[in-house]
Structure 1
Amino acid sequence: MTRLWMWLRGRRAQRRQTLAGTLSAQAAIAIEGVELALRACEADADLDELAERITQVERRGDATRLQLVQLLSTRVVTPLDREDLFRFSRSLDDVLDNTRDFVLETRAWQVQPDAHSRAGLEHVRAGLRRLIKALDGSAGHINRELCLAARKEGRRVRERYDDGLRQLFSGDLSMQALARRELLRRVDVIGLRLIEAIDAVVDGIVKRTV
């Protein structure tokens, strides 16, 4: 009887799970990764510890993405087209993967990222927070306006990238400057993947309203 009860409880919990909630959880894990990347930008950061922690966070992100794929296979009705939900989840996974690489590269090159990289990561964090609000199931739908606000944060990452390049190229291109350029480029890629995630959701909303 105990095993049967545990199985039934697990089945009820699985039914209560929502696709939007799982995507929101994936975005929240991505924020955890960005927080660690921001910590890596500080002068007194323990890069070895941060590298270990973000690797664990990335694994949790992979597990949540797998959970979403399993949910998609069991749902008859979805809030958006399955293809768009899959694209969204994949792009969120890319956000976290590149954030992990940012921390690992910072440790490998032993260079402190510049202020432009930090500012770009702050825009990514703000964009992900807006995404989580957009996915809030209490309203019964995905909020398009909040998605567009999140996209603006992603576009600001490119602005920080351009500003950072101009500053780097105005000085001597030392090995340290080249390493900072690569880290800056990694942040730009994170921003691009964030925009791709948001575009997948916005595309899905447009399809459902046409």
Structure 2
Amino acid sequence: MKRLRRIRDLMSGRMDSALTEALLGQLQATKEGAWLAMAMIGGEVGRTGAHEQMRSIEHLGDEERGRLVEELKNALVTPIDREDLFRLSRSIDDVLDSLRDFVRESHLYRVPDQIRFSPMLDQVIAGIEALEGAVRDLSSRPSVVILNALEAKKVGGVIRKMYQYEISRIYSGEITADTMKERELVRRLEIVGVAIGEAADAIADGAMKR
């Protein structure tokens, strides 16, 4: 009976849809995490409040990742290779985890001038949105998937470059406890950029194999 249900889902396209929806759910939670971090550094949300809200967002992301894993267990076929789907989901999870760490460390370190992180977070949001575009076209338009994946990969490179400039600025002045804390926060956002790049690689690899 289960096998017949899977075949029916395959014929109707529901299986691909369920996998895509789970990935988009993960990305939505991740984007909410990025916007929360942006609101925190802009002073719209307090650090303590942001820290608490991020727990709920992370939980949502974990639920969507769990849903994807369950769908993969039962899927007869997938829009791209299973391994690439799993890599993609894991990398999205890494993005959200690193955003969580950024918010938590900001809460702990109390660095005074946080607004300077906004350009890096702008790029993080752009990268997540590029990944969303790639996932939406996963089943139907592989060429568009690759273009969006390349855009996300490019964003990862931009974040890396911004990190390098920030580190140069930090070390060009007096090294204090606050500057070392700032370095840690900048490094956390650089790790977010690396994870975005890894997610882009996973989805591009999968699309190229089709």
Match of 2:196 in 1: 194
Q: Is the 8 A contact 1:111 1:179 kept in 2?
A: yes
Gaps spanning 5+ residues in structure 1: where?
Answer: 1-11
Matches within 5 A, 1:150-189: 150-189=152-191
Give the 3 Å change call, closer, same or farther, for CA 138–161 of structure 1 in structure 2.
closer
How many Å apart are 1:21 and its aligned residue?
A: 2.2
State which drifts further: 184-193 or 109-118: 109-118
SS across alignment from 1:73? helix
Matches within 5 A, 1:1-210: 15=14, 17-43=17-43, 45-112=45-112, 114=114, 117-137=117-137, 140-142=140-142, 143-208=145-210
Q: Is the 8 A contact 1:88 1:200 kept in 2?
A: yes
How many Å apart are 1:88 and its aligned residue?
A: 0.4
Q: How many residues are paired up?
A: 198
CA RMSD of aligned residues (A): 2.2
- Opposite residue 206 of structure 1, the aligned amino acid is M
CA distance in 2 between counterparts of 1:195 and 1:59 reads 23
Q: Could you state the TM-score of these two structures normalised by the residue count of structure 2?
A: 0.87
Give the 3 Å change call, closer, same or farther, for CA 106–130 of structure 1 in structure 2.
same
CA distance in 2 between counterparts of 1:44 and 1:88 reads 32
How many Å apart are 1:112 and its aligned residue?
A: 3.7
Give the 3 Å change call, closer, same or farther, for CA 63–113 of structure 1 in structure 2.
farther
Match of 2:3 in 1: none
Give every structure 1 segment of 4 or more consecutive aligned residues whose post-TM-superposition deviation is greater than 4 Å: 113-116
How many Å apart are 1:78 and its aligned residue?
A: 0.4
How many Å apart are 1:110 and its aligned residue?
A: 1.0
Match of 1:6 in 2: none
How many Å apart are 1:25 and its aligned residue?
A: 1.7
Give the 3 Å change call, closer, same or farther, for CA 112–198 of structure 1 in structure 2.
farther
- Opposite residue 39 of structure 2, the aligned amino acid is R
CA distance in 1 between counterparts of 2:139 and 2:90 reads 25
Q: Is the 8 A contact 1:135 1:141 kept in 2?
A: no
State percent identity of aligned pairs: 35
SS across alignment from 2:74? coil
How many Å apart are 1:137 and its aligned residue?
A: 4.3
Q: Could you state the TM-score of these two structures normalised by the residue count of structure 1?
A: 0.87
Q: Is the 8 A contact 1:31 1:128 kept in 2?
A: yes
Deviations 1:81-137 (A, max 9, x none): 100000000010010011001000001011145455321121110011111112224
Give the 3 Å change call, closer, same or farther, for CA 43–174 of structure 1 in structure 2.
farther
- Opposite residue 131 of structure 2, the aligned amino acid is L
Deviations 1:39-94 (A, max 9, x none): 22124641111101011100110000000000111111101110000000001001
CA distance in 1 between counterparts of 2:180 and 2:44 reads 21
